[in-house]
Amino acid sequence: MPRFVLRRTAQTLLVFVIITFLCYVGLYQLGNPFAAVGEKVIPPQTQAILRETFKLDRPLPVQYLNYLANLFTGDLGIDYDKRLPVFGMITDVVPNTVRLAVTAIVLQLVIGISAGVLAAVRRGSFTDALVSVSAIVAMSMPLIVIAAALRDTFAGTRVLGITLFPSLPRTIAVEVHWYDELLLPAFALALAGLAITIRLTRASMLEVLESDYVRTARSKGLPPRTVLFKHALRNAVIPLANIAAIEFGATLGGALVVETIFQYNGVGYLFVRALRSLNAPLLMAIMSYMVIAFVVLIALLDILCAYLDPRMRID
């Protein structure tokens, strides 16, 4: 097990270095982040001063190593646009994106597992067909379509004089609490990955329900509910652990679309605004931290699965 942990850690570090290096080259070496500000062209002398200020006049390996050191100390420099510390801008919106991602994953797992179990238990029935068709339809719809449809349909909805979801586009003068603006974009993200959870749960449940230990439990006269939840479901949801981690990474990527459509003040919305202005320090910092979050999560999941199932360890 220790060898597996060391090997998986080394793989994680290698993936992180390769991805961040390619992003760094693409942002800082293949383009000129100081060529212009909006429609105003910056003189070459000013560009040279800016490159020296942001330490971009050094050899590429030195630049990248300096950036890695700064990445883990939080010293990511100053935003090109607003002249604010990049690290502070990111930490201000990270809690919003974490709340969005966690809520979306919880909704996706609760709804997806429930629907998948129901379809498997009632295999071949109208309920099974309805769940399967709904999953295929949801899988076929792009996330941007789902988010835009929910926004146009439910934004500003009022029931008994109470505004369930804030109106969009949002004006600066209107204050909206985080819990008011959270549910609709989280539901959009959950719908985008719901089909995979449903289909995987259904397939896993059908396989487990035909296994020998479930037949043995039934032959002992155990109640159907005990057989379903204690013996079948516990084993059927094991494959969902890997999917949950992958879906969390996909949720972080989907947040770019959903947060922009719903004007949700998170990391994704900040990234899109930085992309519009080609704000290289902010773009690089957001991409780096998202890569760290994803590869670390996948590595921890692999280690956990290897601990639970020794067959996964490759010595």
Report pLDDT digits (tens) over 249-276: 677 777 788 888 888 888 888 888 888 7
CATH of 93-276, one of 1.20.58.220, 3.40.50.720, 1.10.1040.10, 1.10.3720.10: 1.10.3720.10
pLDDT of res. 314: 57
Residue 37 pLDDT more than 60? no
Structure pTM?
0.72
Residue 14 pLDDT more than 70? yes
Residue 13 pLDDT more than 70? yes
The pairing of beta strand 162-163 with beta strand 36-37: unpaired
What pLDDT band is residue 213 in, cutting at 50, 70 and 90?
low
Most confident among 92-101, 136-145, 211-220, 290-299 (mean pLDDT):
92-101
pLDDT of res. 105: 84
CA-to-CA distance for 212 and 43, rounded, in angstroms? 76
Q: Domain map of the chain by residue range? A: 1-81+280-315, 93-276
Residue 25 pLDDT more than 60? yes
Nearest Cα to Cα of residue 198 among 105, 108, 100, 122: 108
What pLDDT band is residue 54 in, cutting at 50, 70 and 90?
low
Kindly report the backbone phi and psi dihedral angles of residue 41, in degrees, each rounded to the nearest multiple of 5, phi listed first.
-85, 135
Cα 199 to Cα 119, 121, 125, 305, distances in angstroms = 9, 13, 16, 21
